Amino acid sequence: MEIISSYNLIIEFSVIIILSFLFNGLSKKTNIPAVLMLIALGVILQYILQYFTTETIDFFPFLEVLGIVGLIMIVLEAALELELKREKLIPILKSLAIALIGLGLSTWAAASILYYFIPDMSMQSAWLYATPLSILSSAIIIPSVIGLKSKKREFHIYESTFSDIIGIMLFYFLTGKLNPAEDSGLVGFGGNFLLTITISLIASYAIILIFQNIKSNVKLFLMIAVLLLLYALGKKMHLSSLIIILIFGLVIANMKLFFKGRLSRLLDYEKAHQIYHQLHTITGETAFVVRTLFFVIFGLTITITSLFNMQVALISSMLIGSIYGIRIILLLIFEGKDIIPQAFIAPRGLITVLLFYAIPEEAEVAGFEPGILLFVIIGTSLIMTFAMIYEKRRSSKAVDLASSRTVGSVKWKVPSVIENDEKTS
C-alpha cells in the first residue's frame, strides 16, 4: 500500500491537525498535556506504518527543521505576551533567578547521575547530555498554564522562556569546549552575548520602522521570514540567536517603552500596533501547527520498548527526583509556602529533544539509552498533569465553599422622628 503520495500526505496532514485541535480541547478539560496525546498519536502511526510497509523513513531532517522553527515561534509567542512595566520588574527578576539557578543545579545533579551510572560517560559528555534534560519546555508549559491565576501564569511564562534561552546558550557554550580552536572562554562568551543584544536591538527597531510603511497585505510572513533569516545567520556567526527573537518580541510588544523621545516621532503607533496584533495571531497559529507536527514525528521515531528497561527506569527516576527536589527547595526560598502547582510544573519537551539530537559525535556515548529522554519527558508531563488536576479541584472547592456561604442580612428600620421627640421631651 502506498503511504507516501501527494494526496495521502494531504489527508494525513489534515487529519493530524484536526486531531491536534481536538486534543487541545480535551487538554483544557482534563489537564492532560496535548503534547502527550500527540506523542502517543505518533507512536500509533509508527506501528501503522510498520504494518503497511517495510520501507524505513528517516524523519530526523524533518524533526530538526520543525524543532528549530517551532522553537522560534514559541519564544516569539511568549515574548509577545510579556509586558515590561516597572511593577513587573521584581517578578521578572525573580523568574530569571529561579530559571538560572534551577538550570545550573539541575544540570549539575543530572550530570553527576549520568556520570556515575552510565559506562564510558565522561564528565564533559555528562554535562552535555544533562543540559537538555534540565531545560523547561515552554512549548508544553505556556499552553498548559492558561487557566492559572495571572501571577502564577506570568511566572511560568517568564521562567520557561528564560530557561529555554539560558539552556540553549549553556549547551552551545559546552559544545564549544569540545573544540579548543573555537572555544573563546567566558570573556568571549560574554562579548558574544553583548554583540547579540546590540544586533537584536538594531534589527528590531529597523524591522518595525520598515514594516510599518509597507502597504502590502502579505507582509507578516515576510516578517517571519526575516526573523528566521536573522536566526539562521546568527547561528552561522555563533551568536545566541534566540535572543534576537526574544528582544524583537519584547520591543514590538512594548513599543511605547522602547520608542521614546525623538524615536517616538519615527513610529506610527497605530500601524505598528496593528502589525503586533496580526503577528500575535499568526505566530500562535504557526506555533500550533509546527508543535503538532514536531511531536507527532517525534512519536514516529521513538522506541517505546526502551521504557521497560530497568536501568532506564532507575536512572530516569533519579533524574526526575533531582528535578523536583531542587525545584521545591528553590521555590520555597523565593516564593514561600504557596508553591502549588508551580513546584510540579517542570516538563521537558521540544528543546530537550532538539538539543539531544544536536550533541556532537565526539561527545556521544553508546551506553546512553534514548529511552531515558522519553521517560523523563513523559514522567515530568504526567506529574504536571496531576498537579494541574489537583489545582483545578482545589480551586473548584474554594469557589463552591464561597458560593455555599450565604451572606447574612439585617433589617434596617428608619428611625422615627416622633419617637425621638417623645424621648427628648
Cell numbers for 42: 505518533
pLDDT on residue 337: 84
pLDDT value of position 193:
80
Closest Cα to residue 160, out of 108, 96, 109, 104?
96
The CATH fold assigned to 59-359+371-418 is: Na+/H+ antiporter like fold (1.20.1530)
- Percentage of the chain with pLDDT > 70? 89
Q: Compute the average pLDDT of residues 273-290.
A: 88
Mean pLDDT of 131-135: 95
Secondary structure in 3-state letters for 324-378: HHHHHHHHHHHHCCCCCCHHHCCCCCHHHHHHHCCCCHHHCCCCCCCHHHHHHHH
Summarize pLDDT for 153-191 with one digit per residue, the tens.
Answer: 889 988 998 898 888 888 888 887 776 655 556 666 677
d(CA 23, CA 138): 18
257-276: per-residue pLDDT in tens? 899 888 888 888 888 889 89
- H/E stretch holding 35 reads helix 34-52
Question: What is residue 343's predicted lDDT score, i.e. its pLDDT?
Answer: 93
Write down the mean pLDDT value for the chain: 85
What value does the mean pLDDT take over residues 349-367? 86
**What pTM was estimated for this model as a whole?**
0.82
45-62 pLDDT tens trace: 888 888 877 777 777 778
Q: Where are the domains of the chain?
A: 59-359+371-418
The C-alpha cell of 364 is what?
A: 556521544
Q: Which amino acid is at 407?
A: V
What are the cell numbers at 122?
565522561
Q: Is the pLDDT of residue 415 over 90?
A: no
> Mean pLDDT across the stretch 102-118?
96
pLDDT digits 0-9 by tens, 7-49: 888 898 999 999 999 998 888 888 788 888 998 999 898 888 8
